[in-house]
Amino acid sequence: MNIFDNIIDSYHAGPNKGVPIGNLTSQYFANHYLAGADHFVKEVLQIKTFVRYMDDSVLWHDDKEILLNAGLRLEQHSAAELKLTLKPFCLNRNSHGLPFLGYLLYPERTRLAQRSRKRFVKKLRLYADNLVTGAWTQKEYQEHVLPLIAFTEHAAAKEFRKKIIAQCEGSADILSAVRMTALR
């Protein structure tokens, strides 16, 4: 508890304000606090396919009634046991893809959401320009590009990456330093 007290006290946004949402402690607190809800979903509700990142959760099931009942029971459990009010849940057909954390999730694949694709193109071009103009060193460039590429590697986006990187290489052949990482 002393470690948590020190971490929380290390940041002061103003009176009665805690750590910022983007602070790494947010992930730890969310995982610790919501671990009970994860166990409830898997062990009590017996929903086999379930994903949670921070406070965003997705449950899958082939039976609509089972899924609706699970959502209602999770809502009740969270209110009673965790004193949490969940975001309203909604149903979606798998064939439409589920927007989640910058991806579109399908039963058999994950694609980049359109917004993530645009963001990738915009940032990669900006980063290449920063390198070419000398605003960034090769090391600074790599520190920015590698996480950007890693984000796309969780989706079926290899051909998309290849195409955008090839376009950027036309203006900056220095991109080849990360090319092998990006195209795997």
Q: What is the pLDDT of residues 66-93, one digit of tens each?
A: 999 999 999 999 999 988 888 888 777 7
Shared domain for 70 and 145, answered yes or no, is no
Query: What is the percentage of the chain residues whose pLDDT exceeds 90?
Result: 39
pLDDT of residue 21: 60
The total number of structural domains in the chain stands at 2
pLDDT of residue 12: 64
Shared domain for 54 and 120, answered yes or no, is no
Shared domain for 84 and 120, answered yes or no, is no
pLDDT of residue 165: 84
Shared domain for 7 and 58, answered yes or no, is yes
pLDDT of residue 180: 45
Weakest mean pLDDT among 97-106, 133-142, 171-180? 171-180
Better-scored residue on pLDDT, 107 or 12: 107
Last residue of a domain, one of 94, 126, 147: 94
Does a structural domain hold residue 104?
no
- On the question of pLDDT at 33 being above 90, the answer is no
H helix or E strand, kind and range, residue 25: helix 24-39
Shared domain for 84 and 128, answered yes or no, is no
Does a structural domain hold residue 66?
yes
Shared domain for 30 and 86, answered yes or no, is yes
Give the confidence band of 178 by pLDDT, cuts at 50, 70, 90.
Answer: low
Shared domain for 73 and 130, answered yes or no, is no
Find the domain containing 147 and state its range: 112-182
Sequence-separated contacts (24+) of 157-162 with Cβ below 8 Å: 157/111, 157/112, 157/117, 158/183, 160/112, 160/117, 160/120, 161/120
Can you tell me the mean pLDDT for 51-69? 87
Cα-flanking dihedrals φ and ψ of residue 51, to 5°? -135, 140
Cα-flanking dihedrals φ and ψ of residue 121, to 5°? -60, -50
Mean pLDDT of the chain: 83
Residue range 132-166, pLDDT digits in tens: 889 999 899 999 999 999 999 999 999 999 888 88
Does a structural domain hold residue 62?
yes
Last residue of a domain, one of 67, 94, 121: 94
Give the confidence band of 112 by pLDDT, cuts at 50, 70, 90.
Answer: very high
Last residue of a domain, one of 94, 124, 152: 94
Can you tell me the mean pLDDT for 34-62? 88
- What is the number of residues in the chain? 184
